[in-house]
Structure 1
Amino acid sequence: MVYELRDWDIVSGVGITALGVAAARAVETSRTDALVRDPYAAEFVRAAESPIPMPTRAEDVADDDHRWSLMSVFLGLRSRYLDEYLLGSHESAGASVGARQVVLLAAGLDSRAFRLPWPEGATVYEVDQPRVLQFKDAVLAHGGAEPACERRGVPIDLRDDWAAALAGSGFDPAAPTSWLAEGLMPYLPADAAERLLTTVHKLSAPGSTIAVEYMPGVGSALADSSAASLSAGLGIDLASLLSDADYDPNARLSELGWAVDEVTVAQLAERYGRTFDDEEVAELAGKGRYLTARKH
C-alpha cells in the first residue's frame, strides 16, 4: 500500500524515513571527503528522540553494518547532485539552471535554505504538511539557524490545493522557477504523480526547470534485493510505503514540451568517486534515476 502522507509523524511511517534520510546525511557530513555538508541533519535526529537508534557520525556506524554506510552513500550522491542543480553549477537539458525562485515539493527535513550559498534575491518555498514544517522550524530556531535566502514555508498537504497556497505565499508564476521533487515520486501512485507534474507545468514560466528522483518499480526492487536491509534498519517495511506505479516522468515531461536529461545513481557514483560494495545494491543503483528538465 501507499502510505497516507497526511498522517505524517516524525517517528513512524514516512516521517521516520525522513528522519533516516537526515541521519544518513549527517553520517555523510561527518566524513572527511563528504559529498554534502549539512550541519543541521544531526540536530533533527537528536530532537526527534526516535525509538529506533540512528547514527549521526561515520564513527558511530559499525564496520559490519552496511545499511547506514550504503544509505549515506546514496544520500551523499543525491544531495550533491541536486545541490548542484539548484545552484546551477552544471548543465541540464542544454542550458544552465539556477532560478532565483525555488520550490521544494515535500520539503521534509531539507535544510538547503540554510546551508547553500544562494545568490542575492533568491526565494525558497518549502511545501509540506504543517507538522513537518513546525518540527523543522522548532529545531532550527532552537539552534539559532538563519536562512541564507528568503525562506517561505507553505504548510499544506500536496493532495490539497497546494498551488493556491503557494500563490498565497508570494509565488510568481511569471518568473522562471527551479522545482525540486526529491524523495517524493517513489511514494506517489500514478494519478497523484500526474497531477503533480501537470500542476508544475501550469505554474512554470518558460526557462523553468525541474529535478525529479524516481525508480521504475521501486517497491518491488527494494523488496526483492538485499537493499531491503536498509528499510529493516528503520524498523519498517519501506517497500510497502512505496508505489509500484508504472509512471514515467521522463516521458510525461517530454510530452509536455520540456527538454529532459537523465542520469542514474550508478553514473553519479562514478562521477563523484563513490562505490557500492554489494552487487545487488549496485544493480539497484543502476535503476535509480534523476532527471532534470527545462521548459522552453
Structure 2
Amino acid sequence: MRTEGDAWDIVTGVGLTALGVATFRALESALPDPLIRDDYAALFVRAAGEPHFLDILRDPPKIAGRPLVPGFMGLRTKFFDEFFLSAVAAGAGQAVILAAGLDARAYRLDWPAGTVVFEIDQPKVLEFKDRVLADHAVAPRAVRRPVAVDLRDDWPAALIAAGLNPDTATAWSAEGLLPYLPGAAQDSLFDRIRELSAPGSRFAVETAPTSAAAGNFANLEAKYFDKNPFGEIDPTELFYHDERADPAQWLHDHGWTVQAVGSADLASTYGVTLPELPEELEQQWQRPRYLSAAYDAGSGGPG
C-alpha cells in the first residue's frame, strides 16, 4: 500500500511495476515479428535479478489459455513510440518522459539530430538504468538528460535546471503514470505541463482506470491468468482511487485538442489480430485509454 512520501528502487513498490513492464516489452521484442523492438528491456530484467520476472521471461503467462503476447505491451509501447516520432517530426525539439522507469526510447528511437530527451523518475530507478546501459556500453540516440526528482515535488524547477526551454514546443508523455498519483497531484501535473508548454506542444497520456475498473481487472486477472504477471505484487494496490478530473475533458478545457483510442483501435491500426477472449476481457480492450493531445494556447480554456 502507498504511504505519504514513499520512495522505491527497481525491485520495490512502484519501481517493481516498471520492471514488470520492461519484462513484457522484452517478451514482445523476442517475437518473430514484434510490434516494437526494445533490445534493452531484457538487460534490465536480468540485471535486476528479480526471480518472478526472470521466470516470466522463460515461461510467459497465459490468459484464458492463450499466450499473453503479442499485443499485451506492444500496442501501448508502439502508440507512445509513434507519438514521439510524430511530435518531433512536427517540430517539437525536446521530449519529456514523466515517470520514465526503464523506458529506453532515448536509446532506441530514431530521433532527429539535436533532440533533447528528459527522463524524470526516482533517483534509484534512474541510477539503476544508467548503470545497466553503461555496463553494456549503450549510447543514446538523442541528447539524454535524466532528472532525478519525485513528481510529487517541484519537478518543473528541476526540469528547467536540466535545460528544458518552455518557449520551445515539447512532446510530453505520461505512460502508465496516472493511477500512481493522487487526484490532486494529477491535476497539478496537468497544470504544470500546460504552464511549461509552448504552442505546438503535444501530450500523450494513458488514462487511469476507475476504481471499479481497477478492482474488476484484479478479479479478471485471478480468473483468467494462469500465473500473476506481476508476481506477489498487485499493481492496483499501489493505485490511488480518489476522485480526479477526467484527463480528456481537462485537456480539452485547457486549450488542447484531444484524440482518444483504445487497445482494440490500435490493434486494427497496427494490423494485429487479437485472440478471441471472453466478453468481460474483451470489454477491457474496447475502453478508450490512450489520449494524444496538441496544445494551442489560444483555444479552449485558460492558457
Q: Deviations over 1:77-128 (max 9, x none)?
A: 01111100100089xxxxx756120000000000000000001110000011
The range that moved more, 275-284 or 29-38, is 275-284
Distance in 2 between residues matched to 1:223 and 1:56, nearest whole Å: 19
Secondary structure (helix, strand or coil) at the match of 1:73 reads coil
C-alpha displacement at 1:33, in angstroms?
A: 1.4
Secondary structure (helix, strand or coil) at the match of 2:144 reads strand
1:114 aligned partner: 107
1:278 aligned partner: 277
Distance in 2 between residues matched to 1:169 and 1:13, nearest whole Å: 27
CA contact (8 A) 1:122 1:149 kept: yes
- CA separation of 1:133 and 1:45: change in aligned 2, threshold 3 A: same
CA-atom RMSD in angstroms: 2.4
Q: Deviations over 1:165-184 (max 9, x none)?
A: 00000100000000000010
Distance in 2 between residues matched to 1:116 and 1:198, nearest whole Å: 28
| Amino acid in structure 1 at the alignment position of 2:206 | E
Unaligned 5+ segments in structure 2 are 297-303
Secondary structure (helix, strand or coil) at the match of 1:289 reads strand
1:52 aligned partner: 52
- CA separation of 1:110 and 1:203: change in aligned 2, threshold 3 A: same
C-alpha displacement at 1:143, in angstroms?
A: 0.5
Paired residues in the alignment total 288
Distance in 1 between residues matched to 2:74 and 2:107, nearest whole Å: 17
1:159 aligned partner: 152
Unaligned 5+ segments in structure 1 are 91-95
Distance in 1 between residues matched to 2:160 and 2:30, nearest whole Å: 38
1:238 aligned partner: 235
Q: Normalised by the size of structure 2, how large is the TM-score?
A: 0.87
- CA separation of 1:55 and 1:72: change in aligned 2, threshold 3 A: farther
1:34 aligned partner: 34
CA contact (8 A) 1:215 1:287 kept: no
| Amino acid in structure 2 at the alignment position of 1:221 | N
| Amino acid in structure 2 at the alignment position of 1:12 | T
Secondary structure (helix, strand or coil) at the match of 1:226 reads helix
2:301 aligned partner: none
Q: Deviations over 1:206-234 (max 9, x none)?
A: 00000000143142232232377475642
Distance in 1 between residues matched to 2:243 and 2:263, nearest whole Å: 20
Distance in 2 between residues matched to 1:4 and 1:140, nearest whole Å: 31
C-alpha displacement at 1:190, in angstroms?
A: 1.0
Q: Deviations over 1:19-77 (max 9, x none)?
A: 111010001001111011001000000000103243575xx336x73399436622100
Instruction: Pick one of 216, 219, 223 that aligns with 1:224.
Output: 219
Distance in 1 between residues matched to 2:196 and 2:69, nearest whole Å: 33
Distance in 1 between residues matched to 2:199 and 2:275, nearest whole Å: 39
- CA separation of 1:189 and 1:231: change in aligned 2, threshold 3 A: farther
Q: Normalised by the size of structure 1, how large is the TM-score?
A: 0.89
Distance in 1 between residues matched to 2:286 and 2:39, nearest whole Å: 29
C-alpha displacement at 1:11, in angstroms?
A: 1.7
Q: Deviations over 1:161-208 (max 9, x none)?
A: 000000000100000000000010122221111010000000000000
1:126 aligned partner: 119
Distance in 2 between residues matched to 1:89 and 1:208, nearest whole Å: 8
Calculate percent identity across the aligned residue pairs: 44
